[in-house]
């Protein structure tokens, strides 16, 4: 059986003690009787992970399913079908993203409690080194949540340990949110350990990788390139070799604990399972224990991105399978990067936030932007992934390699990078944000869906629960466009 090494019971106890998310006053158990020992501080840090593992909200289900419903190569089905209209979210999906907002802020709240109580731990004899490490981990988690919030909602209220008692907070600007993220990541990359004692917890390398991603989003290309290169040059991560399509299950299989590619994943267990895999498969498929909701699909003939994908690329065979799901087409395809064929084993698939492939692609893009063209180092980063896609050694040049002669301009190289990023990170719930960030979203959706992306589809609405609680936000003038 796959084992994940998180003390979930204590984490849930801490979350339960702090369950009244909208009440920023810490409960007596948290403020008076906790945070006194290293073990209590560590358990409090674990509580920052728990809201992101919720069974349906965030990475348990809805985040991935909504992201996969609004892609150039993807379609939503059932209650997610309206997302593929690219005309904003309907009431059902507005409620879903509202749940995400709540859980992101619950994780932030739990992180704030750790930071706010660091002096209590020091006063009770916990070593400064241990406290700094745990506070840095809490700040990493806080930065992660704000990074998702700012990209999906733009400016949001910034809640930290300094204003926990203040209910009414106006929306900060997008720039202010990014400044908060950077401040947290600077501390995290400095004070987090290179290797954690428990698999799945944030490390120095996770902080640096997220920081590189943040810098790419801010278009601070040289800083992003250098930050990504720090992690690459540390030689802590590597691509696993594959020779056939199913070898990719060495990376993504439900029984995988972790690999040399894993930088930071949201971890799930048989007792606290991921739910997003349920949305990928049909009950008659062999990939999800005879169950499945098949809420997501694509088409091998109708979708241009799928048609253009080389069938000899092992990633295509690995990622997709044909299945008639009653849409009147035998060319419908479902996704099989993530599978759980025997639920009785108590296995559960992890959610990949950052793996080595993400890092290589971030480095390649930043390097190209710095030089104004593709570079040898950037091309090698892409070629490593491309070689593996054809069952070749990632470190040995091959006839499958791209060359700078083929892609002499910046625009041409970025086109190549966009295509290879799509294939490599296929079905990982990242493409919508990448297309939006690079300005390619509208053209990609028009090409594959023949639809125009409405402005209101670019940001999610501030949920009603925030208005009820936070009187500094006006539900009309402070709402995102179209809602």
Q: What is the CATH number of the domain that holds 171?
A: 1.25.40.890
Q: Secondary structure of the chain: what % helix, strand, coil (to 5)?
A: 50, 5, 45
Question: Cα separation of 432 and 454, whole Å?
Answer: 14
- CATH code, 336: 1.25.40.390
3 state DSSP class of 201: coil
- The full 3-state SS of 293-362, as one line of letters, equals CCCEEEECCCCHHHHHCCCCCHHHHHHEEECCCCCCCCCEEEECCCCCCCHHHCCCCCEEEEEHHHHHHH
Within a domain: residue 18? no
Residue 292 lies in a domain: yes
Exposed/middle/buried for 337, CB within 10 Å: 0-12, 13-18, 19+?
Answer: buried
Per the DSSP assignment, residues forming a β-bridge with 334 are 321
> What global pTM score does this model have?
0.94
Whether residue 23 is contained in a domain is answered as no
For 58, left (φ over 0), alpha (ψ -120 to 50), or beta?
A: left
Q: Are residues 206 and 297 in the same domain?
A: yes
Gap between the Cα atoms of 329 and 75, Å rounded: 14
Q: Which residues pair with 352 in a beta bridge?
A: 265
Tell me: do 229 and 135 sit in the same domain: no
For residues 302 and 404, state if they share a domain. yes
- Structural tokens at position 359: 């890092």
- Cα-Cα-Cα-Cα dihedral sign, residues 384, 388, 392, 398: negative
Rounded distance, CA 369 to CA 365, Å? 6
27 within a domain of the structure (yes/no)? no
Give yes or no: residues 217 and 359 share one domain.
yes
- 328 and 392 both lie in a single domain: yes
**What CA–CA distance (Å, rounded) separates 172 from 54?**
27
Residue 98 lies in a domain: yes
For the chain, how many structural domains are there in total? 2
158 φ, ψ (degrees, to nearest 5):
-100, 110
- The answer to whether residues 395 and 462 belong to one domain is no
Task: Name the residue among 236, 216, 235 with its Cα closest to residue 225.
Answer: 216
Q: What local confidence, expressed as pLDDT, does residue 273 receive?
A: 80
The series of mean pLDDT values per 10 residues for the chain, 483 residues long, is 40 38 37 84 96 89 97 97 98 97 97 97 96 98 98 98 94 98 98 94 98 98 98 98 96 93 93 88 92 95 98 98 92 96 84 98 98 97 98 97 96 98 98 98 98 98 94 95 96
Tokens of 60: 């348990």
293 and 403 fall within a common domain: yes
11 inside domain: no
Q: In residues, how long is the chain?
A: 483
> Does one domain contain both 146 and 253?
no
429/288 same-domain check: yes
In whole angstroms, what is the distance from residue 175 CA to residue 113 CA?
Answer: 24
Q: Identify whether the C-beta of residue 300 lies closer than 8 Å to the C-beta of residue 320.
A: yes
Q: What is the pLDDT of residue 390?
A: 98
Whole-angstrom distance, CA of residue 394 vs CA of residue 383 = 8
Helix axes 376-389, 410-424, angle to 10 degrees: 30
**pLDDT for the residue 32:** 58
On whether the CB atoms of residues 243 and 393 are closer than 8 A, the answer is no
Instruction: Give the pLDDT of residue 271.
Output: 75
If you compute the radius of gyration of the chain from its CA atoms, what whole number of angstroms results? 22
pLDDT in tens, 190-199: 999 999 989 9
Q: Domain check: are 186 and 206 in the same one?
A: no
Within a domain: 15? no
**Please, is 188 exposed, middle or buried when counting C-beta atoms within 10 Å of its C-beta (0-12, 13-18, 19+)?**
buried
pLDDT of amino acid 51: 96
Six token digits for residue 344: 């009785």
Residue range of the domain that includes 405: 202-267+283-452
Joined together, the tokens standing for residue 455 give: 């402005």
Q: Is 335 inside a domain boundary?
A: yes
For residue range 53-96, what is the model confidence (pLDDT) as tens digits? Answer: 977 889 999 999 999 999 999 999 999 999 999 999 999 999 99
Contact predicate 412/437, CB 8 Å: no
CB 332 within 8 A of CB 295: no
Clarify whether residues 183 and 217 are in a common domain: no
Distance CA 277, CA 296 (A): 10
Whether residue 383 is found in the same domain as residue 477: no
Count other C-beta atoms under 10 Å from residue 127's C-beta.
11
How far is the C-alpha of 304 from the C-alpha of 105, rounded, in Å? 38
Distance, CA of 61 to CA of 100 (rounded, Å): 10
């Amino acid at each position: 059986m796959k084992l994940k090494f998180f003390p979930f019971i204590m984490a849930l106890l801490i979350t339960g003690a702090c369950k009244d998310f909208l009440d920023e006053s810490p409960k007596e158990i948290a403020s008076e009787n906790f945070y006194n020992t290293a073990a209590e501080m560590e358990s409090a840090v674990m509580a920052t992970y728990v809201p992101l593992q919720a069974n349906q909200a965030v990475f348990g289900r809805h985040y991935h399913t909504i992201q996969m419903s609004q892609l150039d190569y993807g379609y939503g089905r059932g209650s997610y079908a309206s997302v593929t209209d690219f005309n904003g979210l309907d009431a059902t999906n507005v409620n879903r993203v509202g749940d995400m907002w709540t859980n992101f802020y619950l994780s932030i709240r739990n992180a704030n409690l750790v930071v706010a109580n660091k002096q209590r731990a020091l006063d009770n004899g916990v070593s400064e080194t241990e406290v700094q490490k745990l506070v840095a981990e809490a700040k990493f988690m806080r930065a992660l949540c704000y990074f998702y919030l700012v990209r999906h909602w733009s400016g949001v209220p910034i809640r930290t340990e300094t204003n926990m008692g203040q209910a009414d907070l106006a929306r900060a600007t997008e720039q202010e949110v990014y400044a908060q993220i950077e401040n947290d990541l600077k501390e995290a990359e400095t004070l987090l350990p290179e290797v954690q004692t428990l698999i799945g917890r944030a490390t120095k390398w996770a902080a640096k990788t997220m920081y590189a991603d943040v810098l790419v989003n801010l278009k601070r290309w040289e800083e992003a390139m250098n930050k990504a290169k720090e992690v690459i040059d540390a030689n802590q991560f590597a691509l696993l070799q594959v020779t056939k399509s199913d070898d990719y299950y060495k990376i993504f299989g439900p029984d995988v604990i972790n690999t040399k590619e894993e930088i930071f994943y949201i971890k799930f267990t048989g007792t606290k399972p991921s739910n997003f895999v349920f949305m990928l498969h049909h009950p008659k498929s062999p990939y999800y224990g005879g169950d499945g909701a098949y809420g997501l699909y694509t088409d091998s003939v109708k979708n241009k991105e799928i048609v253009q994908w080389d069938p000899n690329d092992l990633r295509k065979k690995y990622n997709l399978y044909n299945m008639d799901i009653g849409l009147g087409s035998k060319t419908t395809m479902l996704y099989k990067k993530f599978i759980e064929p025997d639920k009785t084993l108590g296995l559960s698939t992890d959610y990949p936030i950052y793996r080595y492939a993400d890092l290589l692609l971030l480095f390649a893009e930043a390097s190209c932007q710095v030089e104004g063209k593709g570079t040898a180092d950037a091309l090698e980063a892409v070629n490593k992934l491309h070689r593996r896609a054809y069952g070749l050694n990632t470190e040995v040049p091959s006839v499958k390699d791209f060359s700078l002669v083929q892609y002499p301009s910046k625009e041409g190289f970025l086109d190549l990078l966009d295509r290879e990023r799509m294939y490599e990170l296929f079905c990982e719930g990242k493409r919508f944000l990448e297309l939006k960030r690079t300005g390619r979203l509208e053209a990609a959706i028009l090409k594959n869906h023949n639809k125009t992306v409405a402005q209101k589809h670019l940001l999610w609405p501030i949920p009603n629960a925030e208005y009820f609680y936070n009187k500094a936000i006006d539900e009309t003038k402070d709402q995102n466009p179209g809602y």
